[in-house]
Structure 1
């Protein structure tokens, strides 16, 4: 432990020295990672305080540090899906920062660039040619003008407005490229087992056996088994949306299930 502590102390001290000298820039970064690191630091501080209290023989019951540890741990668990979604973007930025250039095998670097289709000749070169091209020349001019506008918008950076002549604002795409991770056979088998176990535990036969042989109190309800099943599906949907902070699309089957749930509830 002492060896690891010395290594960590030397590493942190060296990093702090590089930050103070300006060798490591901390101006531009992800706010999500900054918040996460601050929370991890507070978690370790409170955890060290609890260990110190226990080693000193003091009581930790009703100590405020316990509540802080629970709160920080809960927040860290809830932001795990966000961390998973940003993993590809973070890894890409880290590789770029380490190597100093973009990754050569990055799939997004092979996308089509419409600006390469623009003519590299001066604009006055076309004035010496044939002036009787008619509509074809007008169409080519319009296409080149659109490509110039697209190139100017790209050079201005995402989120920055275009030239005042167009009056339009560049809107960056909302979709972020992420690698496709194929699901392994073990993961598929585990999910199938979980679904089968959930279906078995939710069946009417298991419910009747639990009511007959277990000592737990039986809840008397006037709702039917179908109504309980539909209500359980709605609860699962709400739990998924709250866990992953997203809205699931409502299909025709979901609308039909909602109407059926309302109809059964009226009886």
Structure 2
């Protein structure tokens, strides 16, 4: 060992000797006090707790001693006793918390014997007794007054509500408002489209089975009408669904902002689509079209069938 370590060890040993002598003196005084107060009335719960706590510290000191001299503590029965005592002490903690107010009151009364607080803990059975003679006298003297009081209606007095100052900080209120506005802005469709446009995440496409089924039904309906030259009636339910679809399409077009970096391309595309839609609206069915030939052929067949039925 070096000189510095020897000095430190010597100081530690001197501190241990000093504290141990003080502890022995305190323990002797405590033993003398206990011998004088053998017949004292204490709380049994705290007696059990102190006994378990003393046993716990004793086993803990024993294990520390075994480790300090280099002995192994593996398989030592003191470890099991420590675990058991620690569990008992942990379970006693909530009971002690419930008894805290009662114990504090007892300590206060014990510290000041002249205090009149002992009357609070003492039962008062005389308060449960009823004095019949005094009641009869009261009824005889003040019977008319009671009748007059019963006839009078008591006025309702509402409870007084005092105004209280709002102590919240103005900076906190402003911060909440800004947070609410930021959350509202982040939920808007414009911000979501911008995030989807400039984010590096893959684009998501959602395919709905209901939409696919409706498209298939429209295709089958159109094919049936073209094959049999019959215009099927549209029910109220189908009209309602079509109206919802058109409304949703209009909303999608309004909320679709497109690419902000290519405004010219989008304008050209919209012009071309507008011209195509306009030309599609102006297009009429001519006499030589395929659809008109089918319609003319079906009408001729219908006329022949009518003339044959008249002849019969």
Q: TM-score higher than 0.5 here?
A: no
Richer in helix (by share):
2
The two structures have a TM-score, normalised by structure 2, of 0.33
The structure, 1 or 2, with the larger RCO (C-alpha pairs under 8 Å, 6+ apart) is 1
- Bigger Cα Rg: 2
